[in-house]
Each structure stands twice: as structure tokens, then as C-alpha cells.
Amino acid sequence: MHISVPLRAAAVVVILGAVGCATEREPVNRVQPNALEKSFFVGEDLQSSEDDPEFYTASTVIDVPYGARHGLFSGLAGGLTRVKWEISEDALIARKTYEHINDTDGRGARTSNNGIVVAAFPIESHFDIRRDYNPSTGEELNVIEENDTDAPWYEREFMRVDWSQNLITSSLSWDPLAFDNMLGANYDVEALAYYVEDPNHPDAPVFDGEAGYLDITQRLFVTPATINVLGTEYPTCFWNGAWVRGGDYHTGVCEPTELTLRMSFKRVPEPGDPEYTDYLPRHYDGARMDAFGAFYVERKGYDAQYGVVDDRWYRFLQRFNLWEQSTTDIACATRETYAAGLDPNRDEDRNGTDDECEEAEPGSQCNVFRQRCTIPYALRVPKPVAWHQHRESDNDLLFRSTKHAVEEWDTATRLAVCRDFARLVERTSSTPKNART
């Protein structure tokens, strides 16, 4: 193409002007999506387990097709578990942070990371994120990339995980399907490679580094097992629906079912964090259970001479924490107390305050599980308990009976708090300082 002289001159002026005002361009970023910082999972020191954070985790079935005859339903959940992460070259592993039975083998202690494995996900790559450079001169280039060569894999700060499948399918205490199947649900489970890239999809993974939260959604293929009836193999779900339950097979689907499972992980808050709560465990013995039953979690203790022993067998109530703060900094139930054979909850002067907690406010009790003296109920500040709805819920569609149940429980809880305050004032020699009504 022919360019006239004036145009050529103008082009030279533009080029010279651009050279004179040149600024560094934005670097070219070649880092692909889903790069995860390892420090989120194992703390800043990637080689030590001493600073590894703990995570609460739960696994919940969130979607089951209508009519599935496999004993499965939306909302079926495994047990709430505490884990720490381990990063190996090939897998991201979630391990329990406590023994299955207390005082057995020490596995899962806070100072180590060798607890029972509940989940594992393949790691696709380990890398650092840095500027590319000229290998001959070391001069950095204007390109940011994933570097997987300059440092050994265990020193690289980032990784990419394949969240589409959990390699562990036998965790009875965490995986609701494994536990359900153990109880005789009679179905076979096959993990499907399911991972959503679209961030706007409801099944897309959620990573919130600041809040310490992540969740992953997976899909599983559930196939009914078979049972032999008079020489013929039938799917167990068909037998249950067609005969045992009076011929309701027409309302169910005895077919292989695809269901959706969500695994959630939330970092355990440390003291000083806004979300930290000093929840007080409450042991409910058999007499209390007979008088007023409740949902509970069992913890068992082991003695090398006798095996599992009754005095280390606890039923901890499952309840919400109503208080902003429940304990003081005053220690109790120490080794010295037990070495002397003393009851940490003794009250020899019968003034309503445990003897080991006399330095606290009147009415303080020793919580032997936290080994701290409590703040009397009258001095505690209540906090709201949040209930969360499904993203598609509509308040106007809530059943009237559900609204009534919420109001009744709210009223009962408020009355219980007020009565605890009244009883405390009655049994102590003086009204606690700064009492709140």
C-alpha cells in the first residue's frame, strides 16, 4: 500500500512521541484459575505442623431426585468433625485432630498431624507465582507465570487441587453415605468427576480466605444393591417399596440415582478472633437423660489396665451457645487438684461458689472440661443464634406451624435465661456485681 509523504512524516512524529512518553505496560498474567495458597490450609510455615489451623467440617446431601428408594434425603448429614490438612506431593489430606477414643494412641493430638483420614483430594500441581526471567541473565520479564521448577514441591507456595472426587469413601463419622450404608441402606456409591468452573453456578466451589471458609460440591451415583427372593435377584429398594411397605412402589423410582453432596470446611476461630466462642461442654449422665432426654455426642476414654472405662465416658449435649463469653481466665480442675484427690466442684462453705473459683464473681462454677471458672449467668451477655435459610427460600411460604414453633422455642429460651438469673441471685450470699437482667 502506498503512503504519502505527509502521512509518513506524521507516523514518525507519533512513533517518536510514543517512545518519549513510554511507560511500563501491565504485566501479562499467565496464572490459571483455582490457584490456592497453601498457607490457607497449613499456616505460614509450610514445613511445620505446629502452626496448622484447625477446621470444622461437615458433609451434607443437598439434592436427591424425588422418589429415590435408597433411604437418602436432602439434609442427610455426617457428623461435625475437626480436621487439620496435610499436603503431600500427590494429595491434600484432611485428618482428625483428636483421638477416636481419648487416651489411646495419641493420634490427632494438636502438636502432631497424624489423625484418622476422613477426606483426600488429588493435587494436580505445586508452583510459585512470580515473574518469568531470562535464564541467562536473571533479568525479570514482564510476564507473571506459574513456576514449578525453581523450588522443590514442598517449598512452593501455591497448588491446584482436583476437587471433583474425594478419594476416601469410608469415613463413618463424617461421610453420611458411608454411615448410612453401614446401617443397611444397601446401595453402592460411585464418585463422579464433577467440578463446576462457572463462578455463578450454585454448585461452584466457594473459597473465602479472609473468613477461612471453603466448600466443594460433588455428585455421586448411587446404585441399589440386590436381594435374592426365591431364586430371583431384585433391587433391595424395589423389594422394600413393593411388598414390605404395602405396595407403594408406584411412588418411588427404583433406578440408579445421581445425588449432590456438599463438603464444607470452616477454620476454627482462635482466642481473639471476632468469631471465637468459649463454649462450655455439658455432660449429661444417664439419670439426666432419663429425666429429660436430648441429642448428644459421645466421647469415650481409655485406660491401659481396663480398656474403655465408665468414668471417662461422656455424653456431651448438642446445644447452641447463647453467650458472648462464658469463662474467666481463672484456672481450675488442674493436675494439682486431681493429684490431691479433690473434687474440682467442691463447695465446702456452701456459698454457691465452687471453692476453686472464689476469686471469680459469686456463683462461679468450675467447668472441668475447659478447666476454667465460669462467668455467672447473671453477668453473661446473651447473643442471638442465627438460623440460615436456603437461597431459594421465601419467608411468606413458611408454614404457619413452623412460625409457631420458632416463636415457642424463642420464648422458652428467653424464660430459661431469666430463671437462671433468678436462681443464681437466690442461692448466692450477695447479688453479683454489675448484674444484668
Residue 391's pLDDT band, with cuts at 50, 70 and 90, is low
Lowest mean pLDDT, pick from 290-294, 307-311, 413-417: 413-417
Task: Note whether 75 and 91 are within 8 A (CB).
Answer: no
How far apart are alpha carbons 309 and 102 in whole angstroms?
11
Map residue 425 onto helix, strand or coil: helix
Q: Which three cell numbers stand for residue 321?
A: 451457645
pLDDT tens digits along 32-87:
988 999 999 999 999 888 889 999 999 999 888 776 655 677 788 888 899 999 99
Q: What is the pLDDT of residue 4?
A: 44
Distance between CA atoms of residues 348 and 365, nearest Å: 13
199 residue type, one letter: P
Residue 291 has pLDDT above 60, yes or no: yes
Task: Enumerate residues 6+ apart whose C-beta is below 8 A from 167.
Answer: 91, 119, 120, 121, 122
pLDDT of amino acid 185 = 58
Place of cell 432419663: 290
Span 3-22, average pLDDT: 44
Indicate the average pLDDT of the chain. 82
Neighbours of 47 (CB within 10 A): 7
SS3 content of the chain, % helix, strand, coil (to 5): 20, 30, 50
For residue 16, pLDDT over 90 is answered with no
User: What is the SS3 assignment for 413?
Assistant: helix
pLDDT band of residue 155 (cuts 50, 70, 90) is very high
Q: How many CB atoms lie within 10 A of CB 393?
A: 10
- What is d(CA 237, CA 179) in angstroms, rounded to the nearest whole number? 18
Buried b (16+ CB within 10 A) or exposed e, 20-45: eeeeeeeeeeeeeeeebebeebbbee
Non-local (6+) Cβ contacts of 347 within 8 A are: 353, 354, 355
Check residue 287 and give its pLDDT. 85
Residues 6 or more apart whose Cβ sits within 8 Å of residue 116: 95, 96, 100, 107, 108, 171
Dihedral sign, Cα of residue 128, residue 131, residue 135, residue 137: negative
Residue 44 CB contacts under 8 Å (≥ 6 apart), including other chains: 51
CA 213 to chain centre: 8
366-371-375 Cα angle (round to 5): 45
* One-letter amino acid of 288: R
- 347 in helix, strand or coil? coil
The C-alpha atoms of residue 317 and residue 323 are separated, in whole angstroms, by 16
Q: Which of 126, 48, 127, 56 is nearest to 94 (CA)?
A: 56
What are the angstrom distances between the C-alpha of 149 and each of 23, 31, 136, 360?
A: 31, 15, 16, 59
Range in 14-18, 157-161, 354-358 with the lowest mean pLDDT:
14-18
Please compute the mean of the pLDDT values over residues 265-282 and round it to a whole number. Answer: 88
Task: Tell me the range of 15-19, 103-107, 244-248, 335-339 where mean pLDDT is highest.
Answer: 335-339
Domain boundaries, the chain: 36-267, 320-427
For 370, the grid coordinates are: 475447659
Q: How would you classify residue 112: left for phi > 0, otherwise alpha for psi between -120 and 50, otherwise beta?
A: beta
Quote the Cα angle for 418-298-326, to 5°.
30
The dihedral over CA atoms of 75, 79, 81, 87, expressed in degrees to the nearest 10, equals -70
The DSSP annotation for 314-330 comes to: EEEE-----BS--EEEE
Nine-digit cell at 144? 507473571
Contact 221, 256 (CB under 8 A): yes
Helix (H, G, I), strand (E, B) or coil at 40: helix
**Confidence band (pLDDT; 50, 70, 90) for 423?**
low
Contacts of 391 (CB under 8 A, 6+ apart): 202
Average pLDDT over residues 203-226: 88
Query: Residues 412-436: what's their mean pLDDT?
Result: 60
- Size (the chain), residues: 437
* Lowest-confidence region among 43-57, 136-150, 300-314, 386-400: 386-400
User: Higher pLDDT residue, 132 or 25?
Assistant: 132
